[in-house]
Amino acid sequence: MELNRRTVIAGAAAAGIAATTLGGTAQAADSTSGSASGSRKPVKELFGKLADGTKLYRWSLENGGTRLKVLNWGGVVQGLEISDRHGRCANVSLGFDNIDDHVAKTPYFGALIGRYGNRIAKGRFTLDGKSYQLSVNDGVNSLHGGKQGFDKHIWDVEPFAKGSDVGLHLYYTSVDGEMGYPGTLKAKVTYTLDKHGDWRIDYEATTDKATVVNLTSHVHWNLAGEGSGTIEDHELQIAASRYTPTDSGLIPTGELAKVAGTPFDFRHAKPVGRDIRAGHTQQVQAKGYDHNWVLDKGVTAKPEHVATLRDPRSGRTLKIFTDQPGLQFYSGNFLDGTLVGTGGHTYRQGDALCLETQHLPDSPNHANFPSTVLRPGQTYRTTTIHSFGA
C-alpha cells in the first residue's frame, strides 16, 4: 500500500484487544561487521551518501538459503533472494540499486513503516479528549506516518549472530510531536533469518505519553523475480471472511463487509488476476486491490498462519504468520513504468504485490476496530514471520 500511489511517486520525485497492551553494487566497503567469508555475522558496506554527505550503509545477511540486504535508511529491505524448485536463486522484492532513488522516488519499497502504517482520515484523531493534527501527505489524509515517516529516517543498526540465527536490531526514536504524534516513541525492530531461511520481524516500542502506533513492513513481492512481469498469475490465499470497504480516498467506512460472493474472497487459493477486473465498485476506485482483510483469527498471543502466496512458474511460496488482526493486500496498481529497479527493468502496474500485517486502517477513528493506543508503562510488541519454500 503506497501513498495514494499516484501522489507519492509524483510528489516524492519532485522533491480484538490491542496488541499494544502487552542492489546493485554498493560502493567500496567503508567498514564491516564480519568477514565476507567464514562468518555468518552480517556484512556492512557503504551504499551511498545523502545530499549533505551523510553516509548510508547496507547489511548483507544469509542463512538457510535466504539472502537479505538491508539499508539503515528506513530499515529498507533492498533485496531478498530465495531459490525456486530447481534451486535457482532470484531477488523477489522490488527495490533500487542506488540510494538516490530510494530517497527521492521510492513508493515505500521494502521500508519499515511508522509511526502509523496505512491511512488516518484527514490526519486527525482524538485521544483522551485531546485532538491531534498529523502530517497530511495523501490528499487530505495522512499515510504511513506522514511526510517524514519512519521510512525516511536513518536507523541505528546492531548486527548479531546468535545460535543458528543471524540478524539485525534496528533502533529509531521518534520525538514528541514528530509528524504531529504525541509522545516520544522508542522503536526497536529486529530482522532475523533462521536456519530454515525464514525471515522474522519483531517490532517493539515504548512511549512516555499516550499515543497510537501501528508498525509494518512494506516489501513489494514478485516470487518469479523482481522485474519479471505481472503477479496476476500468483496464487493467493487469505484466512479472512471480512474486509474493510473504503471511500474514494481509500479510508475505511467502518463496515466489516463479508468477502463471500465478491472478488475479495481469497479464503481458497486463486490467481490474483482472476477477479481483479470484475468491476466491483471497491476495485474501480482502488484500481485493483488496495484493502485491509480482517483476519478471522483476530489478535493472537502468537503468530498464526494467515496467508499463502505461490508462483506456479517457479514454485516459490511465501507463507505469512502474524499476531496482528489485519492484512493489507495491495496489487501494485500504481506502478506506472516510471521506476527502474535493481535488475534494470521498469516496474509496471501489477508487477508486484504487498501483504502488510498490521492493525486496521484509521483505527483511531473507529471505535469498533481493535485499539492501537499505547500508553506509558506498556510495550508494543508484535511479530510477523515470512516462511519460504519451493
Catalytic residue positions? 218, 356
Calpha distance 125→335 (Å, rounded): 30
Cβ-count burial 245-269 (b if 16+ within 10 Å, e if not):
bbeeebbbeeebbebeeebbbbeee
CB 235: neighbour CB atoms within 10 A? Answer: 18
Q: What is 200-264 written as a DSSP string?
A: EEEEEEEESS-EE-B-EEE--B-TT-TTS---TTSEEEE--SEEE-B-TTS-B-S--EE-TTSTT
Exposed, middle or buried by CB within 10 Å (0-12, 13-18, 19+), for 295? buried
Calpha distance 1→170 (Å, rounded): 22
Query: Which is nearest to 200 in space by CA: 227, 225, 231, 166?
Result: 166
Query: Which is nearest to 23 in space by CA: 40, 48, 53?
Result: 48
Report DSSP state, residue 100.
H
Q: Position of cell 502474524?
A: 322
Calpha distance 226→236 (Å, rounded): 18
By DSSP bridging, strand 304-310 and strand 339-340 are unpaired
339 strand-pairing partners: 347
